[in-house]
A and B are shown apart, each in its own frame.
Chain A
């Protein structure tokens, strides 16, 4: 436990020094609030850019606040996922390649402590960035559109956060398989996309899939209640995350060399 805390503190410090704590929340906030802003100003934007003939009337139905938040979740699902994977593709491979990992593993540190510190630290950065972005978006949505209850907002955020829990576990696991950060990002993104794609193509067999999390979060916003399928998806996502994390620890133990 003590080693975990020491390593976790080091990860946090590294996140601050490398600027990850700054750029990741900012980029996510921009992605988040662009949704209500573009929705709100869409008629004006079209008018400015569309070269429409004189006298054309644009009538776009005003989306509800819930619909705007659902649109934001969809942004997180695409650009956000890519960004998250890119932000943490390096966390193990960099230390492994430079050999800095040797300085950690030559001391009485277990593979589990190391991996857990990476996992929790990355999860912290990603979740806090996501929450900051989502809450800011909710604030703008409330101003520009109709009011969305904060309980609904938090519930949908909680469900969607599980996607991050899963994503971090997958990316860390791939990070123990491959050495090049490009490869790690590529494989992780492809894997996560395939999961999402299969979920839409084969809905009958993929009820448990973490790819359903976004739909479940949207459902909470629209229906205002927690469906039974949400429980299944949440539990299976947590189970899969634990599995991937376990696999990552197992692979890490099999590393032949910690340097060079």
Chain B
């Protein structure tokens, strides 16, 4: 485990932003923090990044007894706001020096990260003139600069246009192989694309902690879409392995099954009744369905 969080909570005067929660982050994993607006995602991430002092609880990094973990973390805030009078290269130089990257290494790292986020061409331009997508990419560059063990990204793609979003997601996919990534989002599709673990927050409570696969398995029902050459009606009702049937049209049906292993029996029955199968598809339940189920609990 790279990070172990015990009993972490945050209270502002009367308002409880984050209820005591415990979880751990495995090395090399990519974790998505999901939840509606105001669920406490940003507060949680800021506490992990060392920007906010928790009301209770501990954050432990493996192999670091020190209380200050900031050298091991790269953080991208939700609305990155830079020193607009600096150029991109100057800002990275400043950030790298503050993170104590050795001088020789720093020059190389700045070139590398600028190339990685594709900002080499504008490295000497003032940040003040950057677009939202460029700022987000520069934010990612500064988070990567000191090669942190844990990369924390707060809503990295929410404010971007589709192209910018794809850019950042592609970069995250490349980073996954050699870094632990924790990022918050409310766009479920993005979470599904890049991460394998899911943390879900609701009203400051941690209501789900596990892998994406488990989440889908536990909270998603299995559906099969069938299409036959002859009208399909009349066959499926007889089977008790089927929980529910929904007819899309005369030839097509969506079948909800109790157990996926019975799908062969389903096909056999159809064939026995003289139906010609022209389409058979397992409908993966989307993350959205699972999300809604967990949130609704």
How many angstroms from the CA of A258 to the CA of B70 in the assembled complex?
15
Interface size class of A (residues with CB under 8 A): 20 to 34
* Contact of B286 with A by CB under 8 A: no
- A99/B77 in contact, CB under 8 A: yes
Given A17-B85, A18-B85, A107-B95, CB of A259 within 8 Å of CB of B79? yes
Q: Which of A1-47 contact B (CB under 8 A)?
A: 2-3, 6-7, 10, 14, 17-18
- A259/B81 in contact, CB under 8 A: yes
| Interchain CB contact (< 8 A) of A107 among B52, B70, B80, B82 | B70
Q: Which residues of A contact B78 (CB under 8 A)?
A: 259-260
- Cβ-closest 4 pairs across A and B: A99-B81, A107-B98, A98-B81, A17-B85
Q: Which residues of B contact A259 (CB under 8 A)?
A: 51, 77-79, 81
Interface size class of B (residues with CB under 8 A): 20 to 34
| Interchain CB contact (< 8 A) of B85 among A7, A14, A105 | A14
Interface of A is mostly: helix
Kindly list 18 other residue pairs between chains A and B, CB separation below 8 angstroms, not including A102-B75, A107-B71.
A2-B100, A14-B83, A17-B85, A98-B81, A99-B80, A99-B81, A100-B82, A102-B51, A103-B82, A103-B142, A106-B73, A106-B75, A106-B77, A108-B71, A108-B99, A256-B12, A259-B81, A260-B79
Distance in angstroms from A93 CB to nearest chain B CB is 14
Q: Which residues of B contact A260 (CB under 8 A)?
A: 78-79
Distance in angstroms from A115 CB to nearest chain B CB is 15
User: Count the A-B residue pairs with Cβ separation under 8 angstroms: how many?
Assistant: 66
* Contact of B247 with A by CB under 8 A: no
Contact with B along A95-127 (1 / 0, CB 8 A): 100111011111111000000000000000000
* Contact of A204 with B by CB under 8 A: no
- B52/A256 in contact, CB under 8 A: yes
| Interchain CB contact (< 8 A) of B49 among A3, A106, A108 | A106
Closest B residue by C-beta to A260: B79
- B95/A103 in contact, CB under 8 A: yes
| Interchain CB contact (< 8 A) of B83 among A6, A100, A256 | A100
Q: Which residues of A contact B79 (CB under 8 A)?
A: 99, 259-260
Distance in angstroms from B104 CB to nearest chain A CB is 16
| Interchain CB contact (< 8 A) of A106 among B51, B81, B83, B94 | B51
Q: Which residues of A contact B100 (CB under 8 A)?
A: 2, 108
Q: Which residues of B contact A258 (CB under 8 A)?
A: 51
Distance in angstroms from B70 CB to nearest chain A CB is 5
